[in-house]
Amino acid sequence: MLAKLTSKNQLTLPKRITNQIGAVEYFDIKVENGQIILTPVKIQRTDEVRAKLAQLDITEEDIANAISWARKGKNEEA
């Protein structure tokens, strides 16, 4: 299956491929042995992160304490 690189360095993925991977907006790109490898990536939005924190019962105070702890350890090493 062929895809053409435009003069603006844009590449359109064939419909057959996009149908197989679903609705993807971003890709991780790397080159291995002369091949371009695209890996679909789901970017987590702020609301999703907040929902995950709530699911894990992590509060703003927990985050502040973790940051304080991390900074304290870093300052002690210096």
Q: Which residues of the chain have pLDDT under 70?
A: 73-78
Number of independent structural domains in the chain: 2
**Torsion sign across C-alpha atoms 32, 34, 39, 44:** positive
Cβ proximity of 40 and 21 under 8 Å = yes
**CA dist 7 → 10, 22, 56 (Å):** 7, 27, 47
Can you give the pLDDT at residue 65?
93
**Together in a domain, 50 and 28:** no
Can you give the pLDDT at residue 47?
79
pTM here?
0.51
Can you give the pLDDT at residue 44?
73
Task: Please give the residue range of the domain that contains residue 17.
Answer: 1-42
**Together in a domain, 37 and 50:** no
**Together in a domain, 30 and 56:** no
**Together in a domain, 15 and 35:** yes
